[in-house]
Chains A and B, each alone.
Chain A
Amino acid sequence: MNSPPTGFNPVPQAEVDFLGTQPVPARPYYDPDWYELERKAVFLRSWINLGHVCEVPSAGDFIHRTLEFAKASLLIVRGKDGAVRTFYNACTHRGTRLVREAQGNRANFRCPYHSWTFAQDGALLSAPDFGGFHLSKGQCALKAVRTEVLAGLIFVNFDPGATPLRDQVGEFAEEMESVPVARATEFSEYTYELKANWKIVYDNFQENYHLRFIHPRSGLGGTGPDNPFGYPTRYRFIGDHRGQTIWYNPETQPRGPVQVAGFMAAANALAGKALLDTPHGSEYFCLFPTFFMLGNPLQNFSHVVYPIDAGRTRGVIRMYWVGEAENASELFARHAGLTMMRDLHAEDIDVIEDGYAGLSGGALEFIHFQTQEALCRHLYNSVVEKVRAFQAEQA
């Protein structure tokens, strides 16, 4: 414990001056009218992570997802040609949902109502008594939603004119491709629904100021004498996207024999797959508007925040794994890591919901972000910019 200090220096204010320092209006963090603007200006125009290619490994595999902000039921389908496509889960005859189950495999998609049948690429294959419609089948393909795969992660965008995600995120693309998620074949998942605005949820997971107060025991290695708040060593801003480089306390010791065994088994399993020493393991990627991923191969989790309405938010957290666990030790290690992550995420729930409860009645005109809450300020600025641009278009 007598090692020399790591000489940690927090990111200086000068580096984030461009974001401003003024108080931030509180209303966007609870107001339903503002959320309605966000829905159109942000969510219906941004890339949203809905899954991973490992969920649809073979032709005909599909997953069915509902996005509340778009009031959309979506089908993500792997085609015979290997491409992953997304369609509205709505028969083009009269809109009936084609699929109810969450996932499965279909050679084609037949509407239960009048037997219109669609191929895996969305083309209308057959429809009984079709001559009476005075249409061509080409006019009746399933309605597609733009789909892009980055690091194995499937993103969709309802805006036909949106810039490709890969072009938006710059250097993050190559870095994310180097993380185990890009080669993942399975995952563990837990989900939540919280009574809070989506930005209050999201902001909690992009600032470290709270770590020492909310995670004093479970936040292993996130804080230390040189860096009592566990601030990051770097912030990056790429358009509307952002990231931080995580600081780890070099003095950290696991707390007990099971935690030690879990870490060692996890490290052994990753080393055996050449996944332990990856170049971007300290990066935390925050893709606008609602996606997070930690690059650390020992804790390679994604976290997506989906607004339900102005005051309710749904979340999906996944830890991604490369290959099936090869033995009991690897399976044990995965579960030990999953436990750490879930227990840590649990600790944030009260303060997130209390944040919304405190604001939602209009108690405050402004909230405040300090230098080391720069990512929260950047999210706010990006949202406001999108909403103002949308309003200008409508004017």
Chain B
Amino acid sequence: MGALSPGFEALEPFVAQWALAGETARAAARSAASDDERKNFYAAAQPLMEAALAYLDGKPIGSLGASDATLMRLMLSLANVYHSVEVLGDAEADNARMRNRLAFTDHVPY
């Protein structure tokens, strides 16, 4: 997978759980996580979001190297998990039970 680029080391502990390929895997990770796991990931990733996206925007999106692809996937997990933290709050569990029935058709590179 490759270590994350300098500046994003704080996200290393979240790679195994959240740097997943495809919407299906990321959606499943969000639903399977505990409230604390979601909140901890959000708390670590949200402050680095702007820097991470600015850094990745400087790279060709179609051919990211391994560590940059990992960072991209972390950001895409943030683009999923944020909704439970910023919007749904304690409605997340009920939402997860129902949204698990909305199955993604994966066909994206990250």
Query: Interface code B49-83, partner A: CB below 8 Å = 1, 0 otherwise?
Result: 11011001101011000000000100110111011
Q: In the complex, which of the residues B27, B42, B95, B107 has the most CB atoms of chain A within 10 Å of its own CB atom? A: B95
Which residue of B57, B79, B105, B110 contacts A262 across the interface (Cβ within 8 Å)? Answer: B79
Residues of A within 8 A of B72 (CB): 328, 331
Asked if B87 contacts A336 (CB within 8 A), the reply is no
Asked if A327 contacts B56 (CB within 8 A), the reply is yes
Which of the candidate stretches A57-65, A104-112, A186-194 sits at the interface with the other chain? A186-194
Flag whether B86 is at the interface (Cβ < 8 A).
yes
A356 → chain B closest CB, angstroms: 15
Query: Interface code A361-392, partner B: CB below 8 Å = 1, 0 otherwise?
Result: 00000000000000000000000000000000
A239 → chain B closest CB, angstroms: 31
Please measure, in the bound complex, the distance between the C-alpha atom of A367 and the C-alpha atom of B91, giving whole angstroms. Answer: 30
A324 → chain B closest CB, angstroms: 7
Asked if B62 contacts A256 (CB within 8 A), the reply is no
Which of the candidate stretches A35-43, A69-77, A121-129, A341-349 sits at the interface with the other chain? A341-349
Asked if B102 contacts A192 (CB within 8 A), the reply is yes
Q: List 19 A-B contacts (CB under 8 A).
A: A189-B107, A190-B103, A218-B95, A257-B86, A258-B42, A258-B86, A259-B83, A259-B87, A261-B49, A262-B79, A325-B61, A328-B52, A331-B61, A332-B53, A335-B80, A339-B79, A343-B88, A346-B95, A349-B101
Flag whether A26 is at the interface (Cβ < 8 A).
no
Asked if B82 contacts A256 (CB within 8 A), the reply is yes
**What residue of chain A has the Cβ atom nearest to residue B96's Cβ?**
A346
**What residue of chain A has the Cβ atom nearest to residue B103's Cβ?**
A191
Which residue of A193, A257, A347 contacts B95 across the interface (Cβ within 8 Å)? Answer: A347
A240 → chain B closest CB, angstroms: 28
By a beta-carbon cutoff of 8 Å, the part of chain A in contact with chain B is 188-194, 217-218, 220, 255-259, 261-262, 265, 317, 324-329, 331-333, 335-336, 338-340, 342-343, 345-347, 349-350
Residues of B within 8 A of A261 (CB): 49-50, 53
Which residue of B76, B80, B105 contacts A191 across the interface (Cβ within 8 Å)? Answer: B105
**16 extra A-B contacts, CB within 8 A, seeds A328-B56, A329-B56, A329-B57:** A188-B108, A189-B107, A217-B88, A217-B91, A218-B87, A220-B87, A258-B78, A259-B83, A265-B53, A324-B61, A328-B61, A331-B61, A343-B95, A345-B102, A346-B95, A346-B102
By a beta-carbon cutoff of 8 Å, the part of chain B in contact with chain A is 23, 27, 42, 46, 49-50, 52-53, 56-57, 59, 61-62, 72, 75-76, 78-80, 82-83, 85-89, 91, 95, 98-99, 101-105, 107-108, 110
B45 → chain A closest CB, angstroms: 9
Residues of A within 8 A of B61 (CB): 324-328, 331
Known contacts A324-B62, A331-B72, A256 near B57 by CB under 8 Å = no
Residues of B within 8 A of A335 (CB): 23, 76, 79-80
Please measure, in the bound complex, the distance between the C-alpha atom of A332 and the C-alpha atom of B48, giving whole angstroms. Answer: 14
Residues of A within 8 A of B53 (CB): 261, 265, 328-329, 332
**Does more than half of chain A's interface fall in helix, strand or loop, or is it mixed?**
helix
Asked if A332 contacts B102 (CB within 8 A), the reply is no
Asked if A189 contacts B46 (CB within 8 A), the reply is no
Which residue of B27, B49, B83 contacts A257 across the interface (Cβ within 8 Å)? Answer: B49
